Structure 1
Amino acid sequence: MNDEVLHQLLEDNHQVLLLVIDALPFPIYYKDLNFRYLGCNRAYEEYVGLQREQIIGKDVFELFDKIPASIFHASDQELLANPGTQIYETPVHRAGEETIYVKFHKATFVDEQGNVAGLLGAIIDITEQKILEKKFQRLATYDDLTGIYNRREGRKQLKKLCQEATRRQRPICAILLDLDNFKQINDTFGHDAGDAVLKRTARALDRYSRAHDFVCRYGGEEFMIILPETSKQQAVQIAERYLAQLRQLEIEIMHGEVLQVTASIGVGELDLAFSDREMMLKQADLALYKAKNEGKNRVCC
């Protein structure tokens, strides 16, 4: 079926369809059974950077780089092998240009006898949508102030890691760390100083954590560290190392004044016989209060 016959077919069935297609702001094209272009709208001309007459009769390998062309061609083959509709998203990389993300909406069309005669496709640029999705995902995963994982992600990972520890019958512990006298820092030096302390603390905890550990801001001035493959005795040693690192921090605030921080730390261990992660956190929380009550700046379990 050539372009002229297709135009006639479309006009016979939908008199205004071609005008509508040409007026739409997103690229639309149609191809024959040999995957060669039969036609397109003005938006597709702009998308490809060629005039319609230069596009008709060519295939994707003559219009696009090899990698995106291979992706486009494979999906076209799949659609003609299974006629109907097809929707998918893919990044598009172009030499010298930023990567964009597009969504393809494609469908097969038939001739007068009802036989599949080709395919019709529309391309929608979803780059801005993807950027927003990533921003929302980051907001849902990371703490906006400190840049480390937030409480929501911490709870999610705690559940996952505890389930894995139970399945494999391997030890796992949790540390709850609370900065000492944080309210006094805020009241005396202001919230900017408090924010600086939280940022530096988060950076130190993240920097000195082991590769398979998980660090998050659990709330306010409290942090949680999940320690897979770690017994209670090992967890206490690790907590003492964190405490030592925090004692060495010197945080410069306004007028060149330097703050030093300490923390109270509680350690809890998962009982593999019951696998109750909430009980492990409760243990860590009680141990944290014990550390506070015994003078702060220490580890308890």
Structure 2
Amino acid sequence: MSYVVMGMGIAVIAYFGQGRKLARIALRESEQRLRDITNTVSDGLLVLDRDGKITFANPEAQSLLGYRPDELLGADMCDLLHVLDDGKPMPRIASNVLNVGRTGITCYGQDELFKRKDGVLMPVLVSASAIIKRHQIVGIVVAFHDISNRKRLERELVRRAQTDVLTGLNNRRHFYDLAEQELARAKRYGKPLAMLMLDVDHFKQVNDSYGHHAGDAVLRKLSEVCIAALREIDVIGRYGGEEFVVLLPETDAHRALEAAERLRHALAEAEVPLAGGDMLRFTVSIGVSNLVATDADLDSVLKRADKGLYEAKNSGRNRVCVGDA
């Protein structure tokens, strides 16, 4: 009887031993399949522990970030990769990724910045999920991919929506947006503000005599001279046709007149090459206005600058006049 019991025991041990062996084989096969998947997906994959230390990085993550595996493993994600717009490390409390480790709430499709090994800030789309074992959060899985091309396209679309195609200056709509901001700031802090309105003298004659290509060249030259002659803080825009506007922040009446005269002289000296080798010169008339306490909005300042421009035109052109309040 004892031999029978012993035999049954051996059989049971062998059975469970074989079961454990099969389980180990199945686990190895499962791990291999997981490695194959993570090695071939097009997204970068990182696994973090709950404190944000990197414990795994797939080949795509290594390629996108420019790091070797030994440089990533054990590194703190916020210290090494996750950064703010200025390139400084993302504060841990503000990190959407690390918040997953604290809350267990998955984040989907977050626009973030990762810093590559070469120092380049790479915009990425990130999703992160908590790893939960026995009802405890033990880590975070992070999937990300490079969206640099998308961001470049978005910036280009914004630029086109805000920019005059011919001159490269702010278009009328964007000029208004920027000028409204400056107007609000000037009123809030009691700062002076001035407006210039420019118009090319005899522009129709330029088009009629030399063609529209020459007229376009005159407008492009005008924009170049304005950018060179004015300050970086000044807001320049094409108002329409051959009319341009310039907003001068923190500029009183005296300095506005000086800026207008300086600009008028610079434009009078500019030369536009023509097809035959000749040079074309042109002049502008400029109206000036300044912000006063009774101005309710931007249009009030613009209207006075327009009055000054009208007076300059009627007074013989190629001059600067101040619009009456």
Q: Name the TM-score class by shorter chain.
A: 0.7 to 0.9
Percent identity reads 30
Secondary structure at the aligned position of 1:80 is classed as helix
How far has the Cα of 1:225 moved from its partner?
Answer: 1.0
The structure 1 residue matched to 2:154, chosen from 127, 130, 133, is 133
**1:183-229 Cα shifts (integer Å, max 9, x gaps):** 22223222322222112111111211135422222222111111223
In 1, the alpha carbon distance for the partners of 2:231 and 2:106 equals 48
Secondary structure at the aligned position of 2:282 is classed as coil
Secondary structure at the aligned position of 1:230 is classed as coil
Contact 1:173 1:270 (8 Å CA) reproduced:
yes
In 1, the alpha carbon distance for the partners of 2:203 and 2:127 equals 55
TM-score (norm 2): 0.73
Contact 2:47 2:139 (8 Å CA) reproduced:
yes
Contact 2:192 2:252 (8 Å CA) reproduced:
yes
The letter of the residue matching 2:179 is: L
What residue number does 1:296 align with?
A: 317
In 2, the alpha carbon distance for the partners of 1:250 and 1:222 equals 19
In 2, the alpha carbon distance for the partners of 1:158 and 1:22 equals 52
What residue number does 2:73 align with?
A: 58
The structure 1 residue matched to 2:42, chosen from 25, 28, 33, is 25
Contact 2:80 2:115 (8 Å CA) reproduced:
no
What residue number does 1:92 align with?
A: 115
What residue number does 1:119 align with?
A: 140
Secondary structure at the aligned position of 1:173 is classed as strand
Decide which structure has the larger Cα Rg and report it: 2
Matched, 1:272 2:293: yes
Matches within 5 A, 1:222-261: 222-261=243-282
How far has the Cα of 1:177 moved from its partner?
Answer: 0.1
In 1, the alpha carbon distance for the partners of 2:256 and 2:45 equals 60
TM-score (norm 1): 0.78
In 1, the alpha carbon distance for the partners of 2:113 and 2:67 equals 22
Contact 1:140 1:152 (8 Å CA) reproduced:
no
Matched, 1:170 2:191: yes
**1:216-245 Cα shifts (integer Å, max 9, x gaps):** 222221111112233334423322221111
Secondary structure at the aligned position of 2:81 is classed as helix
In 1, the alpha carbon distance for the partners of 2:310 and 2:205 equals 18
How far has the Cα of 1:246 moved from its partner?
Answer: 1.2
Contact 1:92 1:102 (8 Å CA) reproduced:
no
In 2, the alpha carbon distance for the partners of 1:48 and 1:147 equals 35
The verdict on how the C-alpha distance between 1:223 and 1:32 changes in structure 2, with shifts beyond 3 A counting, is: same
Question: Which is worse superposed, 250-259 or 188-197?
Answer: 188-197
The letter of the residue matching 1:93 is: R
Contact 1:173 1:230 (8 Å CA) reproduced:
yes
Matched, 1:108 2:130: yes
In 2, the alpha carbon distance for the partners of 1:35 and 1:244 equals 61
The verdict on how the C-alpha distance between 1:283 and 1:25 changes in structure 2, with shifts beyond 3 A counting, is: same
How far has the Cα of 1:154 moved from its partner?
Answer: 1.4
The verdict on how the C-alpha distance between 1:150 and 1:91 changes in structure 2, with shifts beyond 3 A counting, is: farther
How far has the Cα of 1:176 moved from its partner?
Answer: 0.5
What residue number does 2:81 align with?
A: 68
Matches within 5 A, 1:188-203: 188-203=209-224
How far has the Cα of 1:41 moved from its partner?
Answer: 5.7
The verdict on how the C-alpha distance between 1:19 and 1:222 changes in structure 2, with shifts beyond 3 A counting, is: same
How far has the Cα of 1:161 moved from its partner?
Answer: 1.6
Q: CA RMSD in A?
A: 3.6
In 2, the alpha carbon distance for the partners of 1:189 and 1:179 equals 15
The verdict on how the C-alpha distance between 1:35 and 1:177 changes in structure 2, with shifts beyond 3 A counting, is: closer
The verdict on how the C-alpha distance between 1:114 and 1:205 changes in structure 2, with shifts beyond 3 A counting, is: same
Which protein has greater RCO, CA pairs closer than 8 Å, 6+ apart? Answer: 1
In 2, the alpha carbon distance for the partners of 1:173 and 1:242 equals 14
The letter of the residue matching 1:242 is: L
Contact 1:171 1:270 (8 Å CA) reproduced:
yes
Question: Which is worse superposed, 136-145 or 275-284?
Answer: 136-145
5+ residue gaps, structure 2: 1-22, 84-88
In 2, the alpha carbon distance for the partners of 1:152 and 1:183 equals 25
Structure 1 stretches of 4+ moved >4 Å: 16-24, 34-51, 69-78
Matched, 1:285 2:306: yes
